[in-house]
Amino acid sequence: MPDQLHARVEACYQQAEAFFNKRFERPQVSFKLHGQKAGVAHLNTNLLRFNPQLYQENSEHFLKQTVAHEVAHLIAHQMFGGRIRPHGEEWQLIMRGVYELAPDRCHSYAITRRQTSAYIYRCACPERDFPFTAQRHALVRKGRRYFCRSCRATLAFSGELRID
């Protein structure tokens, strides 16, 4: 899996070098990206991070579009400096001129959301639930207090946990 992606990164750099007649320093490539982003270019550290799950589920388009998209960010930064807009004219020039691809800002890959837990808190009001995240629930356990805006009572954990 990573071999094809590394080969595509190298091919993108070779295209840019031929187009600009200039050598570019190769980035470090990481597969430690999760969540909704397909890829991220870290300009100052010359690092590309890719989402392995989205790559695996959309490999053909990912290799063609997403890899070029992220490499174009690094090339634009090295060519034009750090004061350019992320998806501005310079980046678009590279996408269209060098890679002959549409300068799409966002991917349209299907994202599977992970399960979330809701800790149910209640006040003195009848039939009123307050779902707390795990983070907020942990803050309550450390002593933070939350109040109902209607009855002004302190919200208390009901012992109920809902998983979405």
Tell which residue, 34, 67, 143, has the closest CA to residue 75: 67
Task: Clarify whether 127 is annotated catalytic.
Answer: no
State the catalytic residue, choosing from 17, 70, 100, 127. Answer: 70
The encoded tokens of residue 153 equal 């009572």
Please provide the size of the chain in residues. Answer: 164
Distance CA 164, CA 157 (A): 18
Residue 155's identity, in one-letter code, is: L
3-state secondary structure of 143: coil
How would you class 101 by CB atoms within 10 Å of its CB: exposed for 0-12, middle for 13-18, buried for 19 or more? middle
Task: Give me the active site residues, please.
Answer: 70
